[in-house]
Structure formats: structure tokens, C-alpha cells
Amino acid sequence: MTATDPSSPRTSPRPVDGEGKISLTLRVNGSAERVRARPNHTLLEVLRNELHLTGPREGCGVGMCGACTVLVDGRPVSSCLLPAALAEDHELTTIEGLEGPNGELHPIQEAYVEHTGFQCSYCTPGFILATKALLEECPDVTRDEAKAYLAGNLCRCGSYVKILDSVMDARDRVRG
Amino acid sequence: MRGSLVFYHPTTLQEAIGLLGEHGEEAKVVAGSTALTILMRQRLIAPSVLVSIGAIPGLDGIEERDGAIRIGAMVRHRDVELSELVRARVPVLAETFGVVANVRVRNAATVGGVLAESDYASDPPAVFVALDAEIEVRGPGGERTIPARDFFVAFYETALEPNEIVTAIRIPIPVTGSGTAYHKFVSRSSEDRPCVGVAALVHLASDGTCADLRVAVGAAAETPQRFPNVEALAVGQTLTPELTGRIGDAYADAIDTLDDMRGSAWYRTEMVRVWVGRAIETATDAAADRSAPG
Amino acid sequence: MIAEPRHIVPPGMLDANLRVRGRVPYAIDVVLPGMLHAKLLRSPYAHARIVSVDATRARALPGVHAVLTGPDLAARDDIFPYFGPIFRDQAVLAIDKVRFVGDPVAAVAAIDIDVAQAALDLINVEYDELPAVFNVDEALEPGAPIVHDEPRRLGQTFADIIVRAEADTNVCNHFKLRKGDVERGFAEADHVFEDVFTSPPVQHVPMETHNCVATIEAGIIRVTTATQMPFAVRASLAEIFKVSQAKVRVTTPTLGGGYGAKTYTKVEPVAALLAQATGRPVKIHLTREEEFVTITKHGVKIQMKTGVTKDGRIVARKSTCLFNTGAYADIGPRLIKNGGYATGGPHYIPNVWVDSYAVYTNLPPAGAFRGYGVSQAAWAYETQMDMIAAKLGWDALEFRMKNLLEDGQSVMTGEDMFDAHFKELLTTATARIGWDPAEEPRRNGSKVRAKGFACIIKGTVTPSTSTAAAKLNEDGSLQILSSAVEMGQGAETALSVLAAEGLDLELGQVSISRPDTDVTPYDQGTSSSRNTHSMGTAVGMAVADIRRQLLALAAEQLEVDPADLELVAGRVQARGAPSTSIAYGDLVRASRSGNLLANSVYASKGGLDPETGQGIGSVHWHQAAAAVEVEVDLATGKIDLLRYHAGVYAGRIVNPVQAELQTEGNIAFGLGQALFEEMVFDGGQLQNGNLGDYMIASIEDMPQEISLGILEHLESNDIHGIGETSLPPAMPAIGNAVFRATGVRITDLPITPEKVLRGLRARAVEESAE
């Protein structure tokens, strides 16, 4: 992840304010957001605490569960592992970025509603974002391929059968 | 405090190396930051300086050069997995990077990172060792190249000198007639790290005998394990089930296996025995396919 | 006569749109002005006396608003710093002693998590380490270190719990069941089998960890918390703060999973005490690592002796169950009852003897976990059933069929079975995987395939109470006030269906409240697969009351006898004369009451005799079966699940999609516990307390083919809970299939590849010796 901001420090430390925080500009869901964060703060912490985007959620803190999935330039990433300082100059998409301006559902979201691909739904934004990246990469994905791709998103309620049904239906909806 | 950390974004390797020299033990290089964030969260390390190498040009390419695939340190696992060049020239490398962790981690974790971390339960190191890869590093004293088999020294310990940075890895393209395989064996969930991971390369001569065998076992000991004296048993021989079995036994005998939640030392030894044999068989089949006429 | 209400088939979940947009609010999303963040300092020792706690430096750190320690709390007269549903044995922060690695010792509230974390590093605790016990056998030995050497502080009595704690030992509670004459039964038996089965502690791993936000304003303690039991939390906070329950307000948004972890009080007291100390809202949100040591499933050792006659009838069973309840009792003293009597299984056994113990150790506290002791019991009896059949050369299915309970036969707690469907469930399950007793394991290279099955019985907490209120508004819409917790199981949708059906309304005309102890009526808790049955019944009763009011009002307005009226689509109309009708809203307005109100109480009856464990164990009995085909790699011991059928008796299915989801969820939960889930401790230190080291089932771990048999019998007019029911058979079904494939019998969960391979090697040695 590159940082091309001309003010970004090369051989001097990135400047911190009185609270030990740095200034960042993040491009989230199409708009540029200026935020302050401690240098070690993860993207997840900044999205939730500074930008009040509650779709990404901490589940494990070690990149295993996928509840904090965010798309970085269209690719799913665990926002719990990514320092916010490394997320600048990338297009970030959270679940909040998928819906239309009046809350209209994305076809993938419609598919998850249709099949009830969730129970407690804590993990659902992560699954939906992973599905979006999967379908962009692989529009004709098979059920087995989808399984392999989504195996890193964990659903403790075990809604996996209906999640896969949702993904297959989403494929057909997106393909049109 | 967890927050008392400073970030640097150097744009040249010299700057980065200079920063490491300046801050010594306090500084860590950050690339994909997957392992680093976990280690910091678990308070196993507490650097006060992070030197991001993401803005340094020239660390992010995959290219073919002088009979080898050269992969820059900042290249993400997922890019190795999906690279047409890698898939065509060293398919086992793409396959191996494709089984690391999950797609999110692969989108972030870098090739330099998996090298510098030297985590015994990572998948790629065994393949690097089996394929005789060479690691390019840059430090205050300039550039040098370290063979993969010498690079991994112990748990989380590499041959990197202080203030040295991994810049790339070169993986020689296996000669025509070679087949390769990497078997990742997980003993718990599909999402587990390997209990053992075995990389094998088999080069078949035109008469079908083995011209070259290389086998490296990962996740079974502190570092990838390779035994040229055992590999030599295969040279000039037909790789019969009996012979691959003997090689598996020899690896099982030679490795001082470790004990963790994925298996006891006894079980790992047994899995080395099984999976060395299976990896050689898969590589042999691949070699036979590749050398088959037409 | 009133016509039978039509059955509404709902969409999967009413608030699905919010959920897929990531906008359904959880407790973790609550942000209040001036809110502080709390962190806990935890014990590094399994058992130690606290010599001193010095928080001076932490208190001086800029940004820190309060630091609380155990000694601070113990010194106060205005609070009672202990909690626990049965014994008040858990201090909010450790007082005098720490009892497990991870026991909270001090708490910090600071402007953010980083400052709070930094403050923890500045607290000095001096410990005097004590000898510790980790397993039940050690803990019961004479002279063992005593985890709780203080007098037991018993709280309010639960109607269904007998407390039989043994002072000066590590026995936290003892449950006894004596049915028939077990010794005579063994004397009548032609064969007696005695085996030991163990299950390890595992963790619930709700994706949302425990968290809450507490404030104290104008003397009202207010907590928004991720709990399955808002009223238990309220009672606990009132006791701790020595205030009336009316001064405590607990609200609960939707949960990110519970599975039993979020029953009873957990993080709420410390947050409330910090809120009191700072005058600010305080949030606590446990990390995944902390969640692992907050509550666990009980590790258990069960010794089971079973006598059978030569014609295949079980005549006696004697079980000794040692449940490792960890450092604090939590609900262990009750769970051992359910887990204990469950060892009687779904079979008619005339003579049963059970001694079930909750044993204190220096491990993290164990409590309610999906299955509530029944998984551990079923692992024992359904494995042993298979072992007996194998040893005697019987067909395992036929042996089950001879003994499965039928209506009118007495269950282990003595009452007569009714609405029994075990045989139907097991017949279907085995048929769906093509069970054939003559079929040999099928070998292909190093892989071998075989089948197995299991059938279980589970009670639901009895007696228990749910209450509800209904308000019919002047526009004809219906509001249900209920304290049912929505945790992904679809409580809101199921209750909406039941309410809407009662008045023949559309789902969109009904709303279900979220729990708010200031507003919504009492409920015992959303647990034990009881919500749709208990709260559903309470809601049905309240709606029936509204219905009577509507009919009375309409009779007056329409001048028609109430018996000749019916409710159709939001109107009361004369039967056979739809033109004579009136809308609900018009009736509400005519009543001049603003809204029609109704309250209801559903309280089930039952309970067991303290000496014999006989009585009414469960208001009805939950029933399930599972059948599975596995493939085992004989070279590695690795097990793949090829086919899985889950059968469960539902009575009436209220929401088909949710019924399927919960049943599929039980497969995921069950296969994890069957194959790899296990909390591994070394000297009391958890070795795998994060999701990198502790595995839960992924989508790729699921069986390749799944079929469900959710059995509905509408004539029984009863709703059976299915949240947990299909979980317990998973583990023994898989174990039984592995045995058939390999000849290796695993009696200690999980069935790891390593255990299978060791078993295969041991068999090879035996065979070569023969």
C-alpha cells in the first residue's frame, strides 16, 4: 500500500498531535474522510470509532473470521489487521457503500435476504463483501469454488447452507 | 502506551535502511502488516517505530529473468496465486500461495513478510527451500543473496542481519520434465495452518528414472527440513511406491518434529512419512504428464 | 366457535433488510456522549492469594477516570460485590484470591482503550501463589486444594434446583436420581458394560463478544447489554448496588450470537461500578482472547454402567458424572441436573441411578452451552449403545428400536413420555443415508467409508415463566411487549407470526418490542430452546385476551352474539355475513380506552424430588436423531463428512426457514465439537484462546451433502424448541461412523485424526499378536 501524500514523512516521523494522533485521509465509500487516529490504530478501529461505520465488526482480531471485512480497491481485506495509516490512497468499501442512496439493496444483498443467508447476522457484511469480490473476479463461480473462496469467513451460527444458496443466487442476479 | 508509535513512509530503500539503523531494535519494517498486527496485539512485540516500505518503488513486480521468476518483497500472496506468469512457469508456487490462510490475508500479506517472519507454520517457505530459491536482501553494506535453505534459521529467526530488508525472491524455473507438488495437511478445520506441508520436485529422465528429487517439509520443525542425502536415494532410480516409502521413512526419521495443537511430535513424524510419499507421487505424476509426448 | 387461525408462513427474518445492510444495531454499536472505555487486569495465576494491589500510578495516568480493585470493593458497605445465579461466589473483581488464569483483578475506565490498556500496565499486584487443581479427579481427592474455602453464599432459590454443596470440598453441587432399583436391574441383566467417556471444555465463540454500556443517572442504573437474560442481569445489579430492581434498567438489542454464553451476569457489574465511580457512561467490550476465559462448556467425565438382557432390553443404568464447573459456579449447579438425568437417554430403562457433580477447579468458569449438559451425556450413552451392540453382535439400529421410548413409558425422571417420535426420527435418519446393517465399510485406496447414527432426548428448563403484554392500537395495529432476546434464532419473526395469527393480521401490522426491563414484562431468559414455546405461549395468551375483548366489543356494536362472530383480516365480522363487520380500530375507538390491553403469564409446572430426581423433568421432551456417512483416511486418521441427515421433532414449525437454519447450525456446531474443538490448558493457562489457534467449523468443513427432517405433527398442538435439539446426536453419530469405518472406538472427544491413527496402530499391534 503506497502513501503518496507529499506531506507524508520519509525520513522524519509522521507528525503526531498532542494526543499522539496522526491525520489521515481515507477514501471510504466514494468520499474522502479526514480523520485522526493513533499510528497503530487499525482501519477497523478508525471506521467504527471515527467514521461511525458499524457494518465492519471485530470478531477475532487476528484475520481469521472475516467479520471486519472491507474491500480495499475491490479486494477483501481484514480491516482488523490493516493499520489505518496504510489504508490511505486506496478505495475502501464497507457494507454501507453497497446500498443505494435511499437504502436500496444491492442484488447480492437481495439474494441474502431471499435465502436468509444469516442468523445473528454479525458476520453478514463480511460475507456479502466477500461475495461481491468473488463475483467480480469470477462471474460464473461454481458452488465449490464459492465454498473455497468463502471458507475464511466464519459464521458461528452455521448458516453456511443458506449462505451458499445466497451466493449462487447472487451470481445469477449479478450476471443478469 | 499502545498508541506511542511513530510511522515512517520512506520512498527509497536507503532511507528505510537508514531508519532501521537509527532506531535499532525499536523499529520494525511493515509491509502487509498481517503478522505484525497480530504479534503486536498479542504483545509479543512492541515496536515504537514502524517503517512502511509500501511507498518504495521497485518492490512490487513479478518477472521472469535469467531462468528464474523474481518476485518483489511487496507482492501480495494473492498476486502470486493469480499471476499468469507464475502459474505457467512455477505452478506449485501459485498453488501454495493460494492455500495460505484466507483470501483476505492473502490480499494483504506480502512475499517479503512471509520470509522475514519465518513462522514455522507458514506454507511458502517449504516450497522456496525445495525449489532452491534465493532471497535478495539489502542492508547498510549493500546487496546480498541468501539461499532459501540458509535463510530460515529458527522460530521467527532468519539470516537477515540487523537493518537488512528483503527486497525480492528468485525462484528458478524447474527444468522441462519436472513435476512439482505442495501438500498442505490440516488436522483440524479447513482454515487451520498446516500440521505438515510438503513440497516436492521430481525431474524424470527420458527413461522415466528420477534425475532429480527435492523434498522440503514445512511446519514439522522450526524451519523447513530438506535432506539432500535422502533425496539422492532417488537419483537414477525408478520412483516405485517402495522407494518413495523409504524416502518418507528417512524424512520421518531425520526430522526432530515439534508438538503443538495440530499434532504431537509422534503424529507429525507419521504425517511426514505419509505426506512426503504422497508429495513425491503427485510430483512424479505431474512430471510424467509434462514429459509425455504430445 | 372461532375458526382455526390460518397459519402464516413468514419470510426468513422480518428485519432482513437491516441485517444485510449491516445496520441492525448491536450493543457494541452504542456510543454515548462522554463515554469511557473499560479494560480489565486479569490474573496470570490459576490460584493465588492477593497480597496487595497498588493502582497509584495507574490512577495518575492522564486520561484515566477511575481504577477499581477487589480490595476497594470489599471495603465498601454500600455494595455487595458478588454475583452468580445460584451461589454468589464470583467477585466483580477478585477479593482475597484469584481462582483462574484470567480472573479479573482490577478495572480501569479511561478516555479510550489505549489509555485504559496503558493504565493496566501501571497496576502492581502482588500474589502469593497457591496450589491449584485443574481436573475433576484431582479436585475430588482428599487433601486437594480447595477452590472456594469461604462459606457458600447462596442466592435466591431456583424452583428447580436442589443445592447440595459439600463444605470443605470442591463439590459445588450434587444431583441425585434414583429410579427403580438399579442393583436389582443389574442382577436381572445378562450383560453389564462399564465405560468412561469424556468431553473437553469448548467455547461458544459468539462472533459478538460480551459487551455492555452502563450509565448511572439520577439514581437509575442503566445498562445496555448483550445478554440472553435481561431480568437476571437486573436482579444481579440490584443486589450488587443494594437498590430495588425498579432502580435498574436493562435493555438488550439484537445479539451477535449467544449459544448460552450470554446467560446470566457477566460484564455488567464492573461496567456499572465504573460508571458509578466516574459519573460517565462506561463501555466494556471483551476481546476474543478475554471471551475465551469468560465462560465455557463444561468438560465432563462420565462413568456409565449399563445392563442389558440377552434379548436386547436395557434394564439398568448407573452413571457418575463429574462436570468440571471451573472456578465459579455460574449455572453449573443446575446444569449438572439436566446433564445428569440426560444420561438416562431416550430409552425406556426401568432402573436408573445417577450421581452428577459440579466440581470446582482452577479453570475458567463453565456454564450454559448450547445443549446444556445433554451433549456430554449423549456422547456417553449413544457411544455406549453402539459399543454394546458391537460387542454382542447386534444390529445397532434394532437394539435402539427395542429400547426407544414410546408414549406411556416412563422417562428417566419418572413421568410418562408423550408425543414420542424417536423411532420415526431414527428410522428416517438411517433411511436417508442408506443404512444397511449388513453393509461392510467401503474401501478405496487408503480411504474407507462407513455410516453411523444417534438419537437423543433433551428437556427444557422446567418449571419456567414467560410473561407478555399486548396492545391493540386504534389503527388496528398490534404491539407485543416481550422480553424475548433476538440472537439470530428469529424470535421476533416467530412471535410476530404467532401474534398475527391470533388476530388474523398481516405481519406488517404487528411489532415485537426488544427487552427493556422498565417496559417489557418479565421473562426468565432466552435459553434452553424455550422461547418459541414459552414466550410464544405467553404471546398467544395475551392475544387471545385481546381477541375476547374484540369479540365482546363487536357483539355490542354489531348486535350479534359473540359466538357468531369471527376475526378476518383486521375486522370482526358476522359468520356468513361479511357485510356485517367492523374494523379492529373502530372497536378500539368505540371502547374509548385508547388501546386494548392484555397481560399474560405462562408458567410451566414441574420439578424433581431432591432425593430421587423423580417428578416432572421437562414440560415436554425434545427429540432428535442424526445419521452420517464418513470417509476416513487410514493413513492419517483424517475424517471427512460425506452425508449428514439431521432429524428433529418440532411439533409445529412456526418459521420453516429459521427451523432449517438452526438445524443446519447445529450440524456446524456439532461437527466442530466432534472433530476438533477443545480448549487446551497447560497449568491452567489456556493454550489456544484465539481464533488462530482454536478452530471453529468453516463452510468447507460442512458435510458434502446435508438433508434435514424437521418433523411436524400439527395434531399435537405444541411447539417444540429446536435451537439445541439436533446438536447432541452429532458427536456420537460421527464417532459411531468412525468406529464402523476403522474399528477404532474413541471415547474422549474430540475425535482427532491423531487419536484415530493411534487407535489404528494399536489395533494393528493387537491383530499381529493374534
> Tens digits of per-residue pLDDT, C311-363?
999 999 999 999 999 999 999 999 999 999 999 999 999 999 999 999 999 99
Secondary structure of residue C138 in the 3-state scheme: helix
Q: Is B43 touching C (CB cutoff 8 A)? A: no
Among chain C residues, CA nearest to A98: C21
- Alpha-carbon distances of C315 from C106, C191, C344, C384, C403, rounded to whole Å: 54, 10, 11, 14, 10
Q: What is the mean pLDDT of residues C38-61?
A: 98
At C1 the pLDDT is: 34
* Chains touching C, CB cut-off 8 Å, 3+ pairs: A, B
Q: Is B33 touching A (CB cutoff 8 A)? A: yes
Q: Residue B260 corresponds to which cell in the numbers above?
A: 503443538
Q: Kindly tell me if the per-residue pLDDT of A7 is higher than 60.
A: no
Strand pairing class (C211-217; C607-608): unpaired
> What is the end-to-end Cα distance of chain B in Å, rounded?
65
Domain locations in chain A as residue ranges: 22-97, 107-175
At B5 the pLDDT is: 85
Name the residue among B220, B226, B184 with its Cα closest to residue B201: B226
Q: Which CATH code is given to the segment(s) B6-52?
A: 3.30.43.10
Percent of all residues in chain C with a pLDDT value above 90, rounded to a whole number = 95
Cβ-contact A161, C706 below 8 angstroms: yes
* A11 — pLDDT class (breaks 50, 70, 90): confident
DSSP classification of residue B260: B
Cβ-contact C300, C357 below 8 angstroms: no
CA–CA separation, C19 vs C26, rounded Å?
11
Q: Kindly tell me if the per-residue pLDDT of C7 is higher than 70.
A: yes
At A5 the pLDDT is: 44
Q: Kindly tell me if the per-residue pLDDT of C159 is higher than 70.
A: no
Architecture of domain B62-172: 2-Layer Sandwich (3.30)
DSSP classification of residue C701: G
Q: Residue C630 corresponds to which cell in the numbers above?
A: 464418513
Architecture of domain A22-97: Roll (3.10)
Cβ-contact B68, B172 below 8 angstroms: yes
Q: Residue C268 corresponds to which cell in the numbers above?
A: 455488567
In chain C the domains, ranked by start, together with CATH numbers, are 16-23+464-603 (3.30.365.10), 31-130+204-292 (3.90.1170.50), 384-458+618-769 (3.30.365.10)
Q: Residue C666 corresponds to which cell in the numbers above?
A: 447445529
Which residue in the set C115, C680, C687 is minimally distant from B1, CB to CB? C115
* A2 — pLDDT class (breaks 50, 70, 90): very low
CA–CA separation, C571 vs B38, rounded Å?
61
Q: Kindly tell me if the per-residue pLDDT of A60 is higher than 60.
A: yes
CA–CA separation, B5 vs B45, rounded Å?
12
What does the radius of gyration of chain A's CA atoms come to, in whole angstroms? 17
Q: What is the mean pLDDT of residues B11-16?
A: 96
pLDDT per residue over C707-766, tens digit each? 999 999 988 889 999 999 999 999 999 999 999 999 999 999 999 999 999 999 999 999
Q: How many other CB atoms are there within 10 angstroms of residue B64's CB atom? A: 14
Closest chain B C-alpha to A106 CA, distance in angstroms: 22
CA–CA separation, C296 vs C292, rounded Å?
7
Closest chain A C-alpha to B258 CA, distance in angstroms: 23
- Interchain pair B2, C118: CB under 8 A: yes
Percent of all residues in chain A with a pLDDT value above 70, rounded to a whole number = 94
Q: Kindly tell me if the per-residue pLDDT of A1 is higher than 60.
A: no
A vs B: CB pairs below 8 A: 121
CA atoms within 13 A on the CB side of C299: 25
- Interchain pair A3, B55: CB under 8 A: yes
* C3 — pLDDT class (breaks 50, 70, 90): very low
- Interchain pair B104, A76: CB under 8 A: yes
Domains A22-97 and A107-175 share a fold: no
Domain locations in chain B as residue ranges: 6-52, 62-172, 179-291
DSSP C86-97: SB--EESS--SE
Strand pairing class (C220-225; C248-251): parallel
CA–CA separation, C651 vs C613, rounded Å?
27
At A176 the pLDDT is: 80
In C, which residues are within 8 Å of A122 by CB distance? 26, 206-208, 256-257
Cβ-contact A68, A123 below 8 angstroms: no
Amino acid, res. C703 = P
- Interchain pair C664, A159: CB under 8 A: yes
In A, which residues are within 8 Å of B12 by CB distance? 10
Backbone angles phi, psi at C320, to 5 degrees: -120, 120
DSSP C363-389: S--B---TTTTHHHHHHHHHHHHHHHH
Cβ-contact C91, C236 below 8 angstroms: no
Residue with cell 483440524: B188
Q: How many other CB atoms are there within 10 angstroms of residue C765's CB atom? A: 9
Cβ-contact C441, C448 below 8 angstroms: yes
Cβ-contact C668, C702 below 8 angstroms: yes
DSSP C148-209: --SPP-B-SPPTT------TTSSEEEEEEEEES-HHHHHHH-SEEEEEEEEE-------SSP
* B1 — pLDDT class (breaks 50, 70, 90): low
Backbone angles phi, psi at B2, to 5 degrees: -55, -30
Mutating which of C32, C112, C203, C207 best tests the A interface, going by the most A Cβ atoms within 10 A?
Answer: C207
Q: Kindly tell me if the per-residue pLDDT of B293 is higher than 60.
A: no
Q: How many other CB atoms are there within 10 angstroms of residue C243's CB atom? A: 16
Q: Kindly tell me if the per-residue pLDDT of C401 is higher than 60.
A: yes
E runs forming strands in C55-116 = 64-69, 82-83, 90-91, 97-98, 104-110
Mutating which of C690, C695, C696, C756 best tests the B interface, going by the most B Cβ atoms within 10 A?
Answer: C695
- Residues contacting C295, CB < 8 A, separation 6+: C203, C204, C260, C261, C266, C330, C364, C365, C366, C367, C368
In C, which residues are within 8 Å of A113 by CB distance? 11-12, 16-17, 20
Is the pLDDT higher at A1 or at B35? B35
Lowest mean pLDDT among C7-16, C80-89, C107-116, C161-170: C161-170
Name the residue among C704, C710, C624, C629 with its Cα closest to residue C435: C629
pLDDT per residue over C674-690, tens digit each? 999 999 999 999 999 99
Name the residue among B281, B282, B217, B284 with its Cα closest to residue B251: B217
At C4 the pLDDT is: 54
Is the pLDDT higher at C716 or at B75? B75
The enclosing H or E element of A169 equals helix A160-175
Residue count (chain A): 176
CA–CA separation, B56 vs C745, rounded Å?
58
Q: Kindly tell me if the per-residue pLDDT of A6 is higher than 80.
A: no
| Geometric angle at alpha carbon C341, from C154 and C302, rounded to 5° | 95
| Geometric angle at alpha carbon C294, from C289 and C298, rounded to 5° | 115
Backbone angles phi, psi at A3, to 5 degrees: -125, 105
- State the maximum Cα–Cα separation within chain B, in Å, rounded to a whole number: 66
At C163 the pLDDT is: 82
Cβ-contact C264, C333 below 8 angstroms: no
Q: Kindly tell me if the per-residue pLDDT of A10 is higher than 70.
A: no
pLDDT per residue over B204-225, tens digit each? 999 999 999 999 999 999 999 9
Q: Is C682 touching A (CB cutoff 8 A)? A: no
Q: Is C695 touching B (CB cutoff 8 A)? A: yes
CA–CA separation, C402 vs B29, rounded Å?
68
Q: What is the mean pLDDT of residues A143-157?
A: 98
Q: What is the mean pLDDT of residues A11-38?
A: 91
- Residues contacting C376, CB < 8 A, separation 6+: C197, C199, C298, C300, C302, C321, C323, C339
* Bond prior to C463 in cis (omega within 30° of 0): yes
**Mean pLDDT, chain C, whole residue set:** 96
Q: Kindly tell me if the per-residue pLDDT of C207 is higher than 50.
A: yes
Q: Which CATH code is given to the segment(s) A107-175?
A: 1.10.150.120
Secondary structure of residue A132 in the 3-state scheme: helix
CA–CA separation, C146 vs C359, rounded Å?
11
Among chain B residues, CA nearest to C697: B189
Architecture of domain B179-291: 2-Layer Sandwich (3.30)
Cβ-contact C10, C507 below 8 angstroms: yes
